[in-house]
Amino acid sequence: MDMKAMPIALALALGATGAQANKVFVSNEKGNTVTVIDSDSWTVIDEFAAGNRPRGITISPDGTKLYVCASDDDTVRVFDTATHDELYTLPSGPDPELFVLNHSGNPLYIANEDDNLVTVVDTETHAVLAEIPVGVEPEGMAISPDGRVVVNTSETTNMAHFISTEDYQIHHNILVDQRPRYAEYTADGRKLYVSAEIGGTVSVIDIAGDGTPTLVDTIRFEVPGVLPEWLQPVGIRVTSDGKWVFVALGPANRVAVIDAATDEVVDYILVGQRVWQMAFTPDEAFLITTNGNSNDVTVIDVARQKALRSIQVGQQPWGVAVTPDGTPD
């Protein structure tokens, strides 16, 4: 990376998009904290205790509430995004790892890694609405753009389970490669990407009009000088225009850039060590990656597909979420 060009690039990007400052929340799995970064200055503005082994992290649609899976506390902790105070906890079932919010902000669908369950929790009444038995070691969670289907990936069963949000039944299962970690829909809901960490692949699943999923392609990765064993796909993000897919490659310390039209890898962006999960800023100008082993996050310029800078956070950053525009301060 050209270090001198960075501030200029940043300034250009910010100027071009007219972006407002957003808060970036990063869960630190080993540090038991959440780090808060200002997306205007890209400086750390706070770090606060977030329970034991915080991993999955997300924000309510109105931007006011931060949800954190405190895995070793067997609970979801809810924080005020303005004050960073803990508001209350939600029942999560044992060992919550990742979750996804309904587009309306309610309910929350939680993967319970130790218990082979997906737990559905009402974020207003705090009641458990359903517990859905899934495969062994459920992890990845995604919700279809129309809100009708929640997808869970199970790491040892090696499946994507398609769960109806109406009857909480599994309607389809798709076998993917070893240790599926994450699932991400395209904005039109017609494609689902599922990463397989140990398989070293991303499965491309076509979603038919009636919701039937079909495995249609498998994306593989290759980086000169990097052992194939270390190309371990984890986090996935797709731009809302459906053109670009970003895949975090774990210990390969790179984010793969995939042209969604062809599902071909076009570039690899060098980031920090053991890159795990990612989040866009609301304008999609920037993509923030958590780098677990270098204890930092990397900010990627999405349009230029370049890494801009790294920011030191807490111990073993895992997940990242960004407040939407218009969030009250």
Partner 1 sequence: MRRPICLLLAAALAVLSAGGAAALEVRVGVIRVDRPQLAPISRLEEWPRDLGFAGGRLADEDNATTGRFLGHTYVTETAAVPPDTAEAALDRMLGEGLRLFVVLGQGDDVLALADRAGDGALLLNAGARETRLRDADCRANLLHVAPSEAMLADAVAEFAIWKKWTRWALISGSHPEDRAMAEAYRRAAAIFGAKIVEERVFEDTGGSRRTDTGHVLVQRQIPVFSEGMKDHDLVIAADASDVFAPYLPFHMWDPRPVMGAAGLRPVSFHAATEAWGATQFQRRFEALTGRQVREEDYQVWLALRVLGEAVTRTDTADPAELRAYMLGPEFELAAFKGQKVTFRDWNGQLRQPLLLYDGRINVSVSPQDGFLHQRSPLDTLGLDAPESSCAAFR
Name the residues that contact partner 1, by CB under 8 A.
Answer: 95, 113-114, 116, 133, 135-137, 154-159, 161, 170, 173, 175, 177-179, 197-200, 227, 229
What's the residue count for the chain?
Answer: 329
Which residue, among 270, 277, 265, 208, has the nearest Cα to 237 in the 3D structure?
A: 277
Cβ closer to partner 1: 27 or 310?
27
Q: How near is the Cβ of 263 to partner 1 at its closest, in Å? A: 21
CB distance 148 to 180 below 8 Å: no
Cβ closer to partner 1: 105 or 211?
211
CA distance 91 to 107: 12
Cβ closer to partner 1: 135 or 235?
135
Q: What are the Cα distances from residue 111, in Å, to 127, 234, 248?
A: 16, 16, 20
Q: How near is the Cβ of 33 to partner 1 at its closest, in Å? A: 19
Q: How near is the Cβ of 225 to partner 1 at its closest, in Å? A: 12
Task: Count CB atoms within 10 A of the CB of residue 4.
Answer: 8
Cβ closer to partner 1: 29 or 296?
29
Q: How near is the Cβ of 113 to partner 1 at its closest, in Å? A: 6
Q: How near is the Cβ of 163 to partner 1 at its closest, in Å? A: 12
Structure tokens at 36: 């808060």
CA distance 240 to 255: 18
Cβ closer to partner 1: 35 or 201?
201
CA distance 211 to 228: 34
Q: How near is the Cβ of 175 to partner 1 at its closest, in Å? A: 7
Which sign does the torsion angle of CA 27, 251, 304, 8 carry?
A: positive
Q: How many CA atoms lie within 13 A of 109 on its CB side?
A: 29
Question: H/E element holding 299?
Answer: strand 296-301
CA distance 188 to 74: 34
Q: How near is the Cβ of 90 to partner 1 at its closest, in Å? A: 22
Q: What are the Cα distances from residue 203, in Å, to 122, 137, 196, 218, 241?
A: 31, 19, 8, 5, 20
Structure tokens at 79: 């924080």
Cβ closer to partner 1: 130 or 198?
198
Which residues is 278 bridged to in the sheet? 289
Q: How near is the Cβ of 137 to partner 1 at its closest, in Å? A: 5
Cβ closer to partner 1: 209 or 224?
224
Cβ closer to partner 1: 46 or 114?
114
